[in-house]
Amino acid sequence: MPTPGDSISVPKHIAIIMDGNGRWAKERGLKRSDGHRAGAESVRECVEICKELGVEFLTLYAFSVENWKRPKTEIASLMTLLERFLKDKTPELNEKDVRLQAIGRLNDIPPKTLRQLHRSIEETSDNSGLTLILALSYGGREEIIDGIKSILHHVEEGHIDRAMIDPDLFSKHLYTRYYPDPDLLIRTSGEMRVSNFLLWQISYAEMVVTKKYWPEFRKDDLREAIVEYSRRQRRYGAI
Ligand code: IPE
Ligand code: IPE
Ligand code: MG
C-alpha cells in the first residue's frame, strides 16, 4: 500500500460513480437514507486521501438526471443530506484547501439546496489544492446536447466557423471545460455500466470497478484503485 511519497503514478483527475448506498442499507436492515448518510463519510475520506496523494481533481457522481425518477421522499432526503453536508463540511474544505465546483443541470435542484451549494462554491473559490467537483442533476447526454446548443449559438453569432469544430473546441463547450478529462473512473457496487456519466470525457479513462458498496469504500480502497491504475499501460491507440 503506498503512502505519500512512494513513486506510483497518481491520476490527475479521478471520477467516481458512488453506487450501492441503498443495497448497503438494505443488507443491514436500515433505510436507504441511512445508506446515503453513511456514504457521506466515504466522500470525506476520499477527499482526504486525494489531498494526501496529490490528486488535483475529484469528480463525484452524486445525483443523475435519471435519479429524479426516484420516490419524492428519497429525493428530498438526498437534497437535505447534500445541503447539510455542504453546510457542515465547508469549513473543513477550507482547512484542507479544497475548492468546490459543481456540474450538471443545477437549476433543477431545489432552491434551498442550490443556495447552499452556491455559498459553498463561493466560500471555497480561492482554494488552490484539490478541486472537488460534484455532478448534480448530471447527465452525460444532456451535457452533450447543452454543448451542441452552445456551439450553435456561437455559430449563429458568428464567433465560431463550422470548420473550427473539433474535439478540443467541443470540450470547451461542456460543463467540464475548466477541467482535464478523468484519468481514472471508479464505480462501486460491482455494476459494469457508466449510467450516463461523463460520456465524452471518459473516452480514455482507465476503469476500476469494485464490488464494495459506496459506504464501505474508504481511504484504503481508493489507494488500492490508484495502485491498480498505476499498473496500467495507457496506449491511446498507439503501440
Ligand atoms: C448511490 O446509491 C447514490 C445515488 C445514486 C444517489 P444508490 O441509491 O443508487 O444505491 P443502490 O444502487 O440502490 O444500492
Ligand atoms: C448512478 O447510480 C448515479 C449516481 C451514482 C449518482 P444509479 O444507481 O442511479 O445507476 P443505475 O440506475 O444503477 O444505472
Ligand atoms: Mg444505484
> What is the chain's mean pLDDT, rounded?
96
- Evaluate whether 202 touches 194 at the Cβ level (below 8 Å): yes
Pocket test for ligand 1, best of 16, 18, 21, 217 (most atoms within 8 A of CB): 21
Residue with cell 480561492: 126
Grid cell locating 204: 480514455
Tell me, in angstroms, the distance from the centre of ligand 3 to residue 16's CA.
13
* Ranges of H-type helices in 54-139: 72-95, 111-123
Q: How many other C-beta atoms lie within 10 A of the C-beta of residue 205?
A: 21
Q: In this predicted model, what pLDDT tens digit does every residue of 25-34 receive, in sequence order?
A: 999 999 999 9
| Pocket-forming residues, ligand 1, beta carbon under 6 Å | 18-23, 63, 67, 78, 189, 214
pLDDT of residue 5 exceeding 90: no
SS3 129: coil
Residue 173 domain flag: no
Side chain identity, residue 66 = E
Residue 174 domain flag: no
Q: Catalytic site residues? A: 19, 67
Q: Rounded to whole angstroms, how far apart are CA atoms 214 and 151?
A: 37
pLDDT of residue 4 exceeding 80: no
Return the closest-CA partner of residue 33 out of 66, 83, 79, 67: 79
Query: Which pLDDT value is given to residue 7?
Result: 76
Residue 7 domain flag: no
For ligand 2, whether the C-beta of 68 sits within 6 Å is no
Average pLDDT over residues 187-194: 98
Residue 154 domain flag: no
Residues in the 5 Å CB sphere of ion ligand 3: 19
Q: In this predicted model, what pLDDT tens digit does every residue of 8-20 receive, in sequence order?
A: 899 999 999 999 9
Residue 175 domain flag: no
Nearest CA to ligand 1 atom 1: 19
Grid cell locating 31: 433505510
Residue 62 domain flag: yes
Grid cell locating 159: 464567433
Cα angle value 199/17/34 (rounded, 5°): 145
Please measure the distance between the N-terminal and C-terminal CA atoms of the chain and give it in whole angstroms: 30
- Evaluate whether 139 touches 163 at the Cβ level (below 8 Å): no
Instruction: From the CA of 22, give the closest atom in ligand 2.
Output: 8
Q: What is the pTM of this model?
A: 0.97
Q: Rounded to whole angstroms, how far apart are CA atoms 226 and 9?
A: 8
pLDDT of residue 187 exceeding 80: yes
Cα pseudo-dihedral 122, 18, 182, 68, rounded to 10: -70
Query: Which pLDDT value is given to residue 231?
Result: 94
Q: Rounded to whole angstroms, how far apart are CA atoms 138 and 174?
A: 12
Query: Which pLDDT value is given to residue 8?
Result: 85
Grid cell locating 10: 497518481
Residue 215 domain flag: yes
Q: How many other C-beta atoms lie within 10 A of the C-beta of residue 202?
A: 18
Residue 76 domain flag: yes
CATH of the domain at 46: 3.40.1180.10
pLDDT of residue 2 exceeding 80: no
Domain tally, the chain: 1
Grid cell locating 156: 449563429
Domain that holds residue 85: 13-139+181-231
Q: In this predicted model, what pLDDT tens digit does every residue of 120-165 receive, in sequence order?
A: 999 999 999 999 999 999 999 999 999 999 999 999 999 999 999 9
Instruction: From the CA of 23, give the closest atom in ligand 1.
Output: 14
Query: Which pLDDT value is given to residue 26?
Result: 98
